[in-house]
Structure formats: structure tokens, C-alpha cells
Amino acid sequence: MPLTRRSLLTRSAALGCSLAASPLITPVTFAAAPWDSRLVVIILRGGMDALDAVQPYGDPEFAGLRPGLSGGPEAGAADLDGFYAMHPALAPLLPLWRKGELAFVQAVSTPYRDRRSHFDGQDLLEAGTAGLGEAEGGWLNRVLQQMPGTEARTAFAIGRERMLLMDGAAPVTQWAPGAGLAMSPQAERLAGLLMEEDPLFHRALDEALELTRQDMSQGFGSDDADTGAMRRAPAGGAHAEIAEYAARQLRGDTRIAAFSINGWDTHSGQARGLKAALGRLSESVLKLHSGLGPEIWGKTAVVAVTEFGRTVRENGTGGTDHGTGGAMLLAGGAVRGGRVFGRWPGLAEADLYARRDLMPTGDVRSHLAWLLHGLMQAGKSGLETRVFPGLEMAEDPGLLL
């Protein structure tokens, strides 16, 4: 059987590779650039329930549609403005809300409709297009292509699939913290020989090994003194390690970081599952906040987005199914916080999308475009034609200070 990239990675254990096994470990991507503000994009994979995360308890239809999930201040949610309440699992972020460093955008979506496939929904979210295949790569890479002076150290992401968000011609780094290659010199040489006829993959291996050495020199992937094993991110804590790693990079020359958090597909037992997922999101934001420090946090915007929302009505298993309208979370010292953005469509049956979902009243891409315009001074024309092809940005929603 001829050796392929896939078979090499599949058999990597024979070469002494040490890979992170946690499903929460995902590649973190970085890019260095000359502007001074910072942007962190978090993809919430699985479809976050907007109506449970940011609960519109002031809508008269809300409680009746969700008798087991209705929430609100009486159920321990934190009142935000007399209409919306924040899920109890987001309570650690309440000080940021009070300081004006946390906000939400309600009733938004990509142009994706009706089929409600996680894979297609995530691809469109990261591509930033109205349909699959309408542009190459991801929107975050395309905006970097519009900006002069972008630089990045190049690396190879291993352990999980690449993020489409950052795919493209602009130079970026892809790496999974703690998921380094632990190879003997003999194994490194063998791998190099096997890849001799593939210059790109050969170079990627060399760079991945070099980044591993850098991580180990910083103690990130250091050997355990007692067992000799490669230290891994603890189960259930990978999101925190990723956020800490991102913060360390953003304190330097890095200007953009993107990573994902899984666990948002709450078809059943949502009360338990969403609490855990929102807890991971809260901790990730707080790790960024503490890791960046006041000065860098003051010029940072964190945006968390998901591929679609969930049904307005809860189902028979205490969960919700794939929907349409969703919510975005914004945090950071550069954000105009302490408010919920977006036009509320209402929850009466006639107001719902297909009589089942929260009706989108805003385009996720438009809000992302205004963030890029404000943080990076990216031009509106390029944002509407090349970064998000066919988008009309409309009026500035005022997400940034």
C-alpha cells in the first residue's frame, strides 16, 4: 500500500507521535499584523440555544413555549435589562457586563436556511458566504489578504481538522497547544524520508516539530518527571488551556486568535448540557481577560458565534432541535457592552421562522464586518465584495467603543 498523508498520521503512534486525545482540543490559529487592536473569534460548534443563553423572559410567549427551560430571574438567571436575562452558567461574566465589557446580539444568523446541517452550517459560518463554494477559504483569512503588512509564523495543525475560518492565501499559524509531536531523532529522520517527495508536507513536519520544541521550552508540553509521559491538557479543562495559550500569544505580536468550543448540540437534557457548555465559554472568556491583562484587554474584542440557533419550543426529551435565529456573545474592553443588540422579532407563532424557529432580524456577517471595520480599519467595499461577498453591511450597529 503506498504511503499517504492520512495513513502516515493514522500510523503515527508507530513513529512515537504523542497526540492530544481530548475532543475539546482544537487547533488555535494565530496571525500577526501591524494594527494594535486584538480580535478573538470563538466558534461554538453544535448550535447554541440563543433563547436559553440570553433568555427573553419579558416576552409574554416565552414561558409557555418552554415550560421546562423558561428560566428568567425567578429561576436564577441574571436580569440584564428587564427583558433579557443571562443563563446562570454565564453568571461569572456578570462583572464584565456591569463594567460595559460584555454584550450580546440576539436574533441573528448566517444566510443558511432550512436544511439545518451542522456541517453545512459551520462551513457557511466560517466561509462567510451565502452559499457553499462561493469563495475560497475563510472570511478571516480573506480580510488578512486585504491588509498590508500581515505576518505569521507558519506551522502545521495536528490532532483535529483545520478551521475553514482561517484557510486561505494569507500567512497564518495553526497549532494545537499541548498536542506536540514527541519523536526520537530516528523517528524524525524516518518521517522526513517518507515525506521526501512532498515538499509542503515535509516542511510542515519540520515546523510542527520546531513549534513543539518551543512549547516544551515554555513548559506547555513538558514531560512529567515521574512518568516520563507528555503532559496533556486535563480532561474537561482543554478550553481553559487553549484560552490561556491564546492570551499569551496576543500579549505579543499576534493580533488575531480563533478557536472553537464544542458541546452545543442539546437535543436532550439541555439543562445539564447547556450549563456545561456555557461554563466552558465563561471560563474561556475569563482566562482571556486575566491572561491579557488590563492594557491588552482594553483594546480587545472577543466574539463567539454559532452555526444556527435552536427551535423555540422545547422537545419531548428536555432539549431543543436545530433551528435558525441564534445569538452572538461579545466581550472585551473594546466592546460597547452592557446591552443586548439586535431587533427582537417576538415569539408569537406568526413571528417565528417557519412557525418553529426564532426569526433572524440580522446577519451575523454584517456584525462581524463592522467589528473588522472598527478594529482593523478594513474598508467597507472590500468587506462587502471580497471578505463577505454580496453582503450589505447596512447601518453600523455600534458594537465597538
Q: What is the DSSP string of 277-295?
A: HHHHHHHHHHHHHHHHHHH
The pLDDT of residue 32: 65
Neighbours of 72 (CB within 10 A): 16
Q: Contact at 8 Å (CB) between 278 and 272? A: no
CB within 8 Å of 120: residues ≥ 6 apart: 112, 132
Name the residue among 257, 281, 285, 307 with its Cα closest to residue 122: 307
How far are the Cα atoms of 54, 109, 340, 373 from residue 106, in angstroms, in the given order? Answer: 8, 9, 7, 21
Beta-carbon contacts of 66 under 8 Å, excluding residues fewer than 6 positions away, are 51, 52, 312, 313, 314
Q: Kindly report the average pLDDT of the chain as a whole number.
A: 81
pLDDT for position 128? 98
For residues 83 and 113, the answer to whether their CB atoms sit within 8 Å is no
Q: What is the dihedral of CA 340, 343, 347, 348, to 10 degrees?
A: 150
Cell of residue 39, nine digits: 480580535
Q: Per DSSP, what are the bridge partners of residue 310?
A: 322
Residue type, 222: S
| Burial class for 346, CB neighbours closer than 10 Å (0-12, 13-18, 19+) | middle
DSSP 259: E
> H or E segment at 206?
helix 199-217
How far is Cα 362 from Cα 323, in angstroms, rounded to an integer? Answer: 15
What are the 10-residue block averages of pLDDT along the chain, 401 residues in total?
40 34 50 82 95 98 94 94 98 98 98 93 96 91 84 38 80 63 50 55 52 46 35 56 86 87 93 96 97 98 98 96 98 98 98 98 98 96 97 96 97
Q: What pLDDT, on a 0 to 100 scale, did the predictor assign at position 152?
A: 56
Of 141, 140, 39, 30, nearest in space to 374 by CA: 39
Q: Global pTM? A: 0.81
d(CA 355, CA 311) in angstroms, rounded, equals: 10
Rg over CA atoms, the chain: 21
Count the residues in the chain. 401
Q: What is the DSSP string of 43-70?
A: EETT---HHHHEE-TTSTTHHHH-TTT-
pLDDT value of position 2: 43
CATH level 2 (architecture), domain 18-178+232-387: 3-Layer(aba) Sandwich (3.40)
Element (H, E) at 241: helix 238-250
Predicted local confidence at residue 253, as pLDDT? 81
Taking alpha carbons only, the member of 264, 339, 265, 346 closest to residue 312 is 346
Quick one: DSSP state of residue 386?
I
Q: Cβ distance 127 to 139 under 8 Å?
A: yes
The position carrying cell 452559499 is: 131
Q: What are phi and psi of 234, to 5 degrees?
A: -65, 145
- SS3 state at 363: strand
What's the gap between Cα 186 and its chain centre?
Answer: 38
